[in-house]
């Protein structure tokens, strides 16, 4: 019998598995894909805090490049540049990250079974039974506890009664051959990416990643975006193979049960503004590891004991998720005229320079900066859009 079975060998599942193994637990990871890092739709832009938390060897080409600046383009094409003297973000090889974390977990004693699709989890008298299809007859794995780290969209957590996240956006991206630029570009244009944004990120060897998030028709909008980039001479071809994903905007209301936790994108622990889930997922995986370890020390795997996991991750991320969701919701209400006006307001008031000079600017923690800026931005945003920002009264101007 295993101490913990983790369903999902993405970065969150493998990071959690390695932590639990180092605490002395017998861990099994079940993954439906044939190998770690397969079929991923993720741009791989993370902050320094995330890199520090990963504790993996960065000399093996995991980090593709560093980013200290980005251009934000209004619907008109006017560019606003945010530049820092230090590196704010890193572009990583996301498949390589998954593989590196899985290898690190295996080196710590974690057992992996790939090509194994988990179909259900049943509660026994003093354990759990994890049902899985291992490319043939179904198998039952016995374990004290289980963690669902499947990523978003898998039916397992919903089938177990954790509910369903209904507020989401679609992500679409492709690898492209680029020409004539060497800086991250972010497109704020409701006609290109309704209720979302688009991006062009240089990687290496003359290649980059173009993608977008939107509430509707991701394939159609991606093709339109690629045509725009080709017409501008930024990419050489639109004959590419796209990848698609679904991104949760809000977390599950409950992420624990008797003997079971949900972590990462499966739990909706994702930045609503950018759709990034790696860093927040890693933070929550660390909390999950400690919560499970304490449960083993007390030999108590009840939902009352494991509820500490949710209390702790909500205390850590609750404000960020709430403010981020509000910003996403507000932006979705703006038309391109308002987006252009906001873009000009930010530029003319020197806000990019003010941000660039901040000593404590973080790629991952946005709420304090956003709330401080609201009263300054109120003049550029229609009053009907600004209702009730989390943590303060509605801004007026």
Residue 375: per-residue pLDDT: 60
Closest to 277 measured CA to CA, from 307, 317, 306: 317
Query: Which tens digits make up the pLDDT trace of 265-306?
Result: 999 999 999 999 999 999 999 999 999 999 999 999 999 999
Do residue 151 and residue 267 come from a single domain?
yes
- Whether the CB-CB separation of 317 and 271 falls below 8 Å is answered with no
Q: What is the pLDDT of residues 172-227, one digit of tens each?
A: 999 999 987 789 999 999 999 999 999 999 998 899 999 999 999 999 999 999 99
Nearest CA among 256, 280, 283 for reference residue 268:
280
Output the pLDDT for position 193: 96
- Residue range 21-56, pLDDT digits in tens: 999 999 999 999 999 988 888 888 998 889 889 887
User: Is residue 152 located within the same domain as residue 184?
Assistant: no
The whole-number pLDDT of residue 83 equals 85
Mean pLDDT of 295-318: 97
CA distance 254 to 167: 16
Please report which helix (H) or strand (E) contains residue 161, including its range.
none
Is 80 exceeded by the pLDDT of residue 389? no
pLDDT value for 216: 92
When pLDDT is cut at 50, 70 and 90, the band that residue 263 belongs to is very high
307 in the same domain as 258: yes
Note the pLDDT of residue 381.
54
> Which DSSP letter does residue 4 get?
E
> Do the domain assignments include residue 62?
no
298 & 270 share domain: yes
Backbone angles phi, psi at 104, to 5 degrees: -65, -40
Of 352, 369, 350, 370, nearest in space to 361 by CA = 369
In a domain, 77, yes or no: no
| pLDDT value at residue 86 | 77
Q: What value does the mean pLDDT of the chain take?
A: 89
Q: Does residue 175 lie within any of the structural domains? A: yes
- Counted domains in the chain: 3
Indicate whether 342 and 299 sit together in one domain.
Answer: no
Same domain membership, residue 222 and residue 351: no
| Mean pLDDT in residue range 6-33 | 97
CATH number at residue 277: 3.50.50.60
User: 260 and 122 in one domain?
Assistant: yes
Q: What is the pLDDT of residue 79?
A: 93
Q: How confident is the model at residue 234 (pLDDT cuts 50, 70, 90)?
A: very high
Average pLDDT over residues 121-146: 93
> In this predicted structure, what is the pLDDT of residue 396?
29
DSSP for 38-56, please give it: -S-----EEEHHHHHHH--
Residues spanned by the domain of 345: 323-380
Q: Are residues 210 and 328 in the same domain?
A: no
Final residue of a structural domain among 299, 317, 335 = 317
Q: Among 389, 268, 232, 250, which Cα is nearest to 326's? A: 389
In a domain, 190, yes or no: yes
Domain contains 78: no
In a domain, 328, yes or no: yes
- Select from 199, 220, 247 the last residue of a domain: 247
In a domain, 366, yes or no: yes
Contact present, 267 and 16 (Cβ < 8 Å): no
Report the share of the chain in percent with pLDDT over 70: 92
**15/137 same-domain check:** yes
Q: How confident is the model at residue 391 (pLDDT cuts 50, 70, 90)?
A: very low
Higher pLDDT, 146 or 348: 146
Sequence-distant (6+) residues with CB within 8 A of 36 are 9, 10, 14, 98, 99, 101, 102, 112, 114
239-254 confidence digits (pLDDT tens)? 888 999 999 999 999 9
Examine the domain organization and report whether 173 and 228 are in the same domain. yes
Entry pTM: 0.91
Task: Go through the chain and tell me how many residues it has.
Answer: 397
Q: Is residue 56 domain-resident?
A: no
Q: Select from 207, 232, 247 the last residue of a domain.
A: 247
For residues 152 and 258, state if they share a domain: yes
Percentage of the residues of the chain whose pLDDT score is greater than 90: 70
pLDDT band at 367 (very low <50, low <70, confident <90, very high): confident
Q: What is the CATH number of the domain that holds 227?
A: 3.30.9.10
pLDDT, position 312: 98
Q: Are residues 327 and 313 in the same domain?
A: no
Higher pLDDT: 205 or 75? It is: 75
């Amino acid at each position: 019998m295993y101490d913990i079975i983790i369903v999902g060998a993405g970065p969150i599942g493998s990071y959690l598995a390695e932590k639990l193994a180092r605490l002395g637990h017998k861990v099994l990871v079940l993954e439906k894909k044939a190998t770690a890092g397969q079929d991923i739709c993720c741009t791989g832009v993370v902050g320094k805090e995330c890199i520090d938390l990963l504790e993996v060897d960065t000399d093996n080409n995991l980090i593709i490049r560093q980013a200290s600046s980005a251009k934000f383009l209004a619907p008109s094409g006017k560019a606003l540049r945010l530049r820092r003297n230090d590196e704010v973000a890193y572009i990583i090889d996301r498949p390589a990250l998954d593989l590196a974390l899985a290898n690190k977990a295996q080196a710590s004693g974690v057992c992996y079974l790939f090509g194994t699709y988990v179909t259900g989890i049943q509660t026994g008298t003093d354990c759990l039974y994890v049902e899985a299809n291992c490319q043939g007859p179904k198998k039952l794995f016995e374990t004290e506890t289980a963690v669902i780290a499947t990523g978003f969209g898998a039916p397992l957590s919903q089938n177990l009664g954790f509910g369903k996240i209904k507020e989401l956006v679609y992500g679409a991206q492709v690898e492209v051959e680029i020409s004539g630029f060497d800086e991250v570009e972010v497109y704020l244009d409701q006609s290109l990416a309704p209720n979302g944004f688009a991006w062009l990120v240089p990687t290496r060897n003359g290649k980059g990643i173009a993608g977008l998030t939107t509430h509707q028709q991701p394939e159609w909008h991606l093709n339109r975006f690629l045509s725009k980039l080709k017409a501008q001479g930024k990419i050489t071809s639109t004959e590419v193979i796209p990848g698609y994903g679904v991104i949760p905007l809000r977390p599950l209301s409950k992420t624990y049960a008797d003997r079971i936790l949900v972590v990462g994108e499966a739990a909706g622990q994702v930045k609503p503004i950018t759709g990034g889930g790696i860093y927040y997922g890693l933070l929550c995986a660390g909390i999950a590891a400690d919560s499970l370890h304490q449960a083993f020390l007390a030999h108590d795997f009840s939902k009352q004991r494991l509820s500490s996991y949710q209390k702790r991750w909500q205390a850590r991320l609750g404000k960020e998720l709430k403010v981020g969701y509000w910003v996403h919701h507000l932006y979705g209400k703006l038309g391109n005229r308002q987006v252009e006006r906001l873009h000009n307001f930010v530029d003319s008031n020197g806000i990019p320079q003010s941000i660039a000079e901040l000593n404590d600017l973080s790629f991952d923690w946005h709420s304090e900066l956003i709330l401080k800026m609201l009263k300054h931005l109120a003049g550029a945003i229609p009053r009907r859009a600004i209702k009730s920002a989390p943590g303060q009264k509605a801004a007026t101007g």
